[in-house]
Amino acid sequence: MLYWGADFLINLICYFVVYRWILFLPFRKKVLWYIVTAGALCPFVMVLCHYNVLGYEGYVTAIASLAALLILAERERLKVAFVFPIVFFASGTISILVIYLLAFITKTSYSDFTAVRWRAVAAEAVFPLVFFAFILFFKKLHEERESVVFSIPQYMIALLGSGSLFIIIGVAQGVMKGETEFADWTSPLTLCLAIVGIVFIALVLWQSSIGKKAFRYKMENDYYQLCLKRQEAHIREIVENDQKIRRFRHDINAHLTAIEQCIQANDMPQLKSYLERMRAETSKLEVQKFTGIGVVDAIISEWYQKAVSENIEWEWDGGLLGQTGTDAYDLCVLFSNLLSNAVEAAEQVEEGAERKIHVSYGSFRDRICIRVSNTCRNNPETGRRHGTTKSDYQNHGFGLLNIRNTVAKANGEIQIAEEQGLFSVEIII
């Protein structure tokens, strides 16, 4: 009789550990609730088990798990009511598997091992408690205090998987004990095995989907970091130019005096040379503003500088965008890939031929129209749906693919046109 009471109390502690430090659910603050719950239910369970009212020892675990709900904070009880079956199935399965393991280690049969009540209590209660304590230690070590939250598909998979596994282990337990009522459980057991197999496949597919999402999030995060670095460089350039402008303003009186002396001396060649030098110096102070959106301008400025350094003619038509319904990240993706492709294509044009990039854009209400055209060496379409003309096409051609994906996400439209030596992309988002 005392073993039943010990079994109940240890199971109660076990579920308390699960709810409190694995699921991180809040409990009642008054310790009196713990004492009253354990003190009232423990003798009740002992009496029921002594007179064999319950009929099945597994009900002790069920009562202990339900008793743990009484000491939870009231606002969490509905949430735990959904998680309870999974916790019950998982703990029961672990308890039975521990008994299997200990029976195998001690080289005794399952029925002989469970015939000694104290060993069964230790296996079914103490060992799960040690297992959960190990998980608790691991979580403490890594300072993980995130509560467990299931989506509906995750919940159904976990419930079906743990329930089916619990039934399989439970039936096997009855067979090993020699209980004849489990002789006709072949079909249900096969059904549960099939469910476990399906759940395993579903988990593999689910993990594959999660891995794909994680990869996409990583790519987006890397792109955000790249945009931030470019914006930082753009801001640094603005600050440096501001300092140069301040120095130029400080020296303006000296420049005016020099110009005045050239005029008085009627030295036009010297005046022309001086003005050209001033014009060259002031041109270095210009900060390019393309859209008025800092992070987008940082992306465009980088490719503008690249085009100028490669002697590519650059034409830009369009004013400041201001507030639009399009996310700045999407604009960065579009301009980065459009201009990257345009500059790379124009670079490949033969020496002496026209190298030119023309960018035009405008906004109407919450829609933006972007058109980028560039000269190119040959027809970019080589039968790969506007992917890439590079020989290593398996590792390239992601520019237009990223553009298409971004346009599709924004429910926009894209149009690609090709003429002899000219390639253009027009986007409306």
What domains, with CATH codes, occur in the chain? 1-148 (no CATH), 288-429 (3.30.565.10)
What backbone torsions phi and psi does residue 313 show, to the nearest 5 degrees? -70, 135
Q: pLDDT tens digits for 9-43?
A: 777 777 777 776 666 666 666 656 666 667 677 77
Number of continuous H segments (helices) and E segments (strands) in the chain:
14, 5
Q: Would residue 352 be called left, alpha or beta, if left means φ above 0 and alpha means ψ between -120 and 50 degrees? A: left
Q: How many CA atoms lie within 13 A of 39 on its CB side?
A: 6
- pLDDT value of position 385: 46
- pLDDT value of position 293: 79
Asked if 295 and 236 count as a contact pair (C-beta separation under 8 A), the reply is no
Q: How far is CA 283 from each of CA 196, 247, 286, 395, rounded to the nearest angstrom? A: 71, 15, 6, 39
* Amino acid identity at 208: S
Q: Coil, helix or strand for 350?
A: coil
Sheet holding 356-364, edge to edge: 313-317, 356-364, 367-375, 422-428, 413-419
Which has the closest alpha carbon to 129: 2, 4, 12, 1?
12
- pLDDT value of position 226: 75
Which has the closest alpha carbon to 324: 412, 417, 247, 403?
412
Spatial separation of the C-alpha atoms in residues 400 and 395, rounded to whole Å: 13
Q: Coil, helix or strand for 268?
A: helix
Q: pLDDT tens digits for 197-252?
A: 666 666 766 666 676 777 778 877 777 777 667 667 766 766 676 666 667 666 77
Name the token pair of 16.
């308390």
CA 261 to chain centre: 67
77-105 vs 2-17: helix crossing angle, rounded to 10: 120
pLDDT tier, 427 (very low <50, low <70, confident <90, very high otherwise): very high
